[in-house]
Structure 1
Amino acid sequence: MTPPFNPFRIDWNDCTFSQWDALLARCKRPTLLQSWQYGLALAKTEGWKADFGIIRFENKPVGLVQVQTRRWLPFLTTCRIYRGPLWIYDEIPGEMLKLVLRMIRDRYHLLRGRPLVFHPEMIDGEAARKRLAETGFHRREEGYESVWLDLAPEPDALRAGLDRKWRNKLHQAERNGLTVEVDTAAVHFDWLMELYLQDKMARNYRGPSPAFLRVLHNLSAESTPPVLLRAVHQGRPVAGVLLVRHGAAATYQVGWNGEEGRGLRAHHLLLWQSALWLKARGHTGFDLGGINETTPGIARFKIGMGGQPFRLVGGYV
């Protein structure tokens, strides 16, 4: 039987870094995990190889998808997609999206020796779950949750969008004599990584390793290096954050806040100054990092910046 006509195709591993980066910059909601540098950093630190796919509609690029692969046996390669595909346009109609999902399903399948773990960049909802089910995917995990801050409004409007309590704490921070240092050359990278690792071990939470973040920083240094902002009080650093940039957006990757910094509301000042710094350099979106029900205080803090909470559709096989 003749297969149905499909105007889409995916060109695999037929692009350069500059081509991929240019397409990522055109995506409305670019994600860190689909960036070229992220894929190479995983290859260098964890042994995952990246397949880069450009999605075309009648020869015109409309999206992209990066797949991480690791060969275990000659006939078995584990594959995973996190937070992709991404789209250059606001929305792909549902029936057209299903054509792309079927192409991914057909390429990465246990029967082909390439089982796939798929965490698509699709907002959770009945329609999204149905499309995935209809294209052969089976849901196994709850979806990633985060907060997206739109940086398009002017600074006064962004400030007006802050939660009242959040804005009051920002006022306190601005009166507390804090200085914010901005570092894109990794001058204070080791300082933050040491404190981040201590905090990570003490509170037993998951997060990227300092080694991975160092490689990611080095790979991004010539294009859009990560930026570290540090709050200093009376000559002493009291808090810090690391932001990783990708396309027109950035992700809040690492944060540390000491006891003195918490008392001075340093993290409120750092996140606010981060948003202003990103906006001034043309970034239009700020992913404030994951939230979940086990850390409600962190979720309230991030939502208080005036961003939009979102939940993705989940993990599929």
Structure 2
Amino acid sequence: MSDTADPSLTLFQIDWNRHSAAQWQTMLENCARPTLPQSLAYAAATAEVDKGGADYGLIRFQGKPIGMTIVTQQRGFAGAANSSLYRGPLWIYDEIPAEMLKLALQKLRYRHRWWRGRPLTFHPELADTPANRDIMKAAGFRRVAEGYSTIWLDLTPTVETLRADLRGTWRNQLNQAEGHNMDVVIATDDSQFEWLYDNHAQHMAAHGYRGPSPALLRALRKHASADQQPQLLIAQHEGAPVAGVLMTVHGTSATYVVGWSGDQGRKLRAHNLLLWRAATHLKVAGVRWLDLGGINSEAPGVAAFKAGMGGETTTLVGGYV
């Protein structure tokens, strides 16, 4: 049965590009665990850097809002638009029944069929479980890539509980860092952000990995709202910067975007201090979840370090077309 012939699809409606930034932000804050790629600032930043665009969809069931999604576009061969939905949709309710989820995904797929000129690459924010793989298949999607993995840290417990939940080695390293008389400052000057961007770019070039480009990081800061600007924490030792971490807030979540540490910073365990201070700073600001960023088997040391904060490791269901 085709999507258009399925009467159950009429229960769903996706309103595209009909909401103000303030309305979108309010809805984002109602989602359980918002992701950075589904934020207005990130969509605008990628559109600027990639010379593309974005569509903003509010998913309704029987007229009632249940979710939201951002689909970004890049111009491909012969001017065709290649669409990408990354780490969405986001849902206003903690759990969506499987059949309802399948129908919502079918609605998205129908809008982005190949012959409609909007082929969709889809990396949904769904855990990699047999049930979710079955839902994706039933919705008509084909799996083509492994899922993204990250670590979510719940910031709602007390600071004392968060510290007690640190793994022993990580907590010992934090204790060492706190004994090295480092100052942690929150950057306010453009030159401080450029210092991090430059060091981040040099580190990517030296070690041969891909991360957010300085151009994307600048655009992300440019497009973020005044009350959710990216926050750069810098560790200083004897007046000199030795490490930095960049966090960005989106709804009730935040993401560890990039970080850098020099030889002296690594020796002083500056990254432990910075991530701990960032987590407690975000908690005080009302952020409930911290996404510690991607982990993979190619960088086991990075994965182990992030896991040391005691968060929940999550692998998503994969990439689909």
Same-fold status (TM-score > 0.5): yes
Matched residues, number:
317
Given that 2:199 and 2:260 are in contact with CA atoms closer than 8 Å, whether structure 1 keeps it comes out as: yes
Q: Which residue of 2 aligns with 1:307?
A: 311
Q: Map 1:204-215; keep pairs closer than 5 Å.
A: 204-215=208-219
1:240 matched to 2:244? The reply is yes
> 158, 161, 164: which one pairs with 2:168?
164
* CA distance 1:75–1:216, change in 2 (3 Å): closer
Given that 2:41 and 2:225 are in contact with CA atoms closer than 8 Å, whether structure 1 keeps it comes out as: no
Given that 1:68 and 1:79 are in contact with CA atoms closer than 8 Å, whether structure 2 keeps it comes out as: yes
SS at match of 1:188: helix
Given that 1:243 and 1:252 are in contact with CA atoms closer than 8 Å, whether structure 2 keeps it comes out as: yes
1:114 matched to 2:122? The reply is no
Could you tell me which runs of 5 or more consecutive residues in structure 2 were left unpaired when the two chains were aligned.
none
Q: Which residue of 2 aligns with 1:60?
A: 64
> 16, 27, 32: which one pairs with 1:28?
32
Q: Which amino acid aligns with 2:148?
A: Y
Given that 2:244 and 2:259 are in contact with CA atoms closer than 8 Å, whether structure 1 keeps it comes out as: yes
* Mean CA deviation greater in 272-281 or 106-115: 106-115
1:53 positional shift: 0.2
> Separation in 2 of the partners of 1:59 and 1:187?
48
Taking only the aligned residue pairs, the percentage that are identical comes to 50
> Separation in 1 of the partners of 2:116 and 2:225?
38
> 4, 7, 24: which one pairs with 1:4?
7
Given that 1:75 and 1:113 are in contact with CA atoms closer than 8 Å, whether structure 2 keeps it comes out as: no
1:88 positional shift: 1.0
Q: Map 1:72-111; keep pairs closer than 5 Å.
A: 72=76, 76-111=80-115
> Separation in 2 of the partners of 1:48 and 1:78?
9
Given that 2:8 and 2:103 are in contact with CA atoms closer than 8 Å, whether structure 1 keeps it comes out as: no
Q: Which residue of 2 aligns with 1:149?
A: 153
* Mean CA deviation greater in 230-239 or 52-61: 52-61
* CA distance 1:11–1:184, change in 2 (3 Å): farther
1:270 matched to 2:287? The reply is no
Given that 1:21 and 1:247 are in contact with CA atoms closer than 8 Å, whether structure 2 keeps it comes out as: yes
> Separation in 1 of the partners of 2:304 and 2:45?
31
1:292 positional shift: 0.3
Q: Which amino acid aligns with 2:170?
A: W
SS at match of 2:128: coil
SS at match of 1:223: helix
> Separation in 1 of the partners of 2:217 and 2:6?
45
1:39 positional shift: 1.0
Q: Which amino acid aligns with 1:309?
A: T
* Mean CA deviation greater in 182-191 or 47-56: 182-191
Given that 2:25 and 2:251 are in contact with CA atoms closer than 8 Å, whether structure 1 keeps it comes out as: yes
Given that 1:184 and 1:226 are in contact with CA atoms closer than 8 Å, whether structure 2 keeps it comes out as: no
Q: Which residue of 2 aligns with 1:196?
A: 200
> Separation in 2 of the partners of 1:190 and 1:63?
36
TM-score, length-scaled by structure 2: 0.96
1:19 matched to 2:19? The reply is no
> Separation in 1 of the partners of 2:77 and 2:17?
22
SS at match of 1:5: helix
1:244 positional shift: 1.1
* Mean CA deviation greater in 67-76 or 205-214: 67-76
* CA distance 1:153–1:185, change in 2 (3 Å): farther
Structure 1 residues 11-62: Cα deviation after superposition (integer angstroms, max 9, x where no partner): 0011111111111111111000000111111121111210000011222211
1:289 positional shift: 0.6
> Separation in 2 of the partners of 1:74 and 1:263?
52
Q: Which residue of 2 aligns with 1:279?
A: 283
> Separation in 2 of the partners of 1:44 and 1:112?
24
